[in-house]
Structure 1
Amino acid sequence: MNQKQLVSSALASVMALGLVSGAAAADDNKGKEKCYGIAKAGQNDCANLAGTHSCAGQSKADMDAGEWKYVAKGTCKQMGGLSLAEAKDKTAMMKK
């Protein structure tokens, strides 16, 4: 096997693993919904609405309307959380 084939095979393997990981992550989130405005600093699940970070655990303030966590479906409102539309409205009003 030449070097080009080896590199191509390795790249294909890495890409296939990424697809499998993404599918597994989607399965983990079944029965859950994104709930905005309930995450404590450093406890968000992924990117925020403002686009200032793209990873979990990077929120800087408690209960920031642009930060979210996964919660069981139907429990967000009970926790005082916001839907995506409500979070967008709240963050837009804060910018004015």
Structure 2
Amino acid sequence: MKKTNIALATAVSGLIALAGTVASTSAVAADEKEKCYGVAEAGKNDCATKTGSCAGTAKVDGQKDAFIMVPKGLCDRLAGGSAESA
């Protein structure tokens, strides 16, 4: 097989794998997720906090008013996680 054919086959395989990943992650509906406060790493929160106006503004790990979206039921199992803002 020519090098160009191998490269093309690899690229197509990668796109198919990416499409499958996107399809499987988008299959989890928004109503199957919940906000989990107090577990986001600094700069990794999903939305605004009391002290920041947009995502990614958490100043410290585990900031109590910063949340990330997680599958329902997972937050209770995470150390420091709470479904309510502190």
Aligned length: 58
Any residues of structure 2 matched to 1:32-47 within 5 Å, and which? 32-47=33-48
Q: Does the residue aligned with 1:77 lie in a helix, a strand or coil?
A: helix
Q: Which has a greater percent of helix?
A: 1
State the percentage of identical aligned residues. 43
Q: Runs of 4 or more off by more than 3 Å in structure 1?
A: none
Measured after TM superposition, the shift of residue 28 of structure 1 is: 5.5
Letter aligned with residue 64 of structure 2: A
Normalised by the length of structure 1, the TM-score is 0.55
Aligned to 2:83: 83
Root mean square deviation, CA, Å: 1.7
Aligned to 2:5: none
Unpaired stretches in structure 2, ≥5 consecutive residues: 1-27
Unpaired stretches in structure 1, ≥5 consecutive residues: 1-26, 89-96
